[in-house]
Amino acid sequence: MGRQRQPGFHARRKARRAAMQALYQWDLSGGSAAEIEAQFRAEQPMEGVDLDYFAGLLRGTLAEVAALDEAIASHVDRPLAQVDPVERAILRLAAYELAHRLEVPYRVVIDEAVELAKRFGAENGHRFVNGVLDRLARELRAVETAASGGAGA
């Protein structure tokens, strides 16, 4: 029996990818969430993207970036500024989803982040992302992770 996927799964996956790329761009060049969102909508291929989810992820992550960085930093073995910028963007995005998108199961958040890291991150960066998010999920989603037997796979 295959894994049942909710309608819009692929559109949300594309929204996460676009949001991660927008967060990466913000991290390197600055700018407001509104400016980056407008630029992405105008210049990036956004066909099939859940645009509302993309906007919510981007705006929400940037609005909470200091708190997200603090939460992530306690699970990283080096200063966050030394983490690869792609992986930093993925961690911020996933931390936002773990903290604020409770309708998305934590395992889905982690799986999606690991897939982004495999595709866009450094070699073996997905292992780093998985480890950090596994620990962060236990903190941010303690009840959910305990009920399922713990974070990670």
Average pLDDT value for residue range 73-101:
96
Residue ranges per structural domain of the chain: 9-147
Contact in structure between 78 and 90 (CB atoms under 8 Å): no
- The pLDDT tens digits for 137-153 are 999 999 888 888 765 44
Q: Which pLDDT does position 151 carry in this prediction? A: 56
Find the angle CA(55)-CA(56)-CA(57) to the nearest 5 degrees. Answer: 95
CATH 3.40.50.300 holds for 9-147: no
Share of the chain above pLDDT 90, in %: 79
Could you tell me how far CA 15 lies from the centroid of its own chain? Answer: 10
Over residues 59-68, mean pLDDT: 97
User: What amino acid occupies position 140?
Assistant: L
Amino acid, res. 64: E
- pLDDT single digits (tens) 13-27: 999 999 999 999 999
pLDDT of residue 5: 44
pLDDT of 150 reads 62
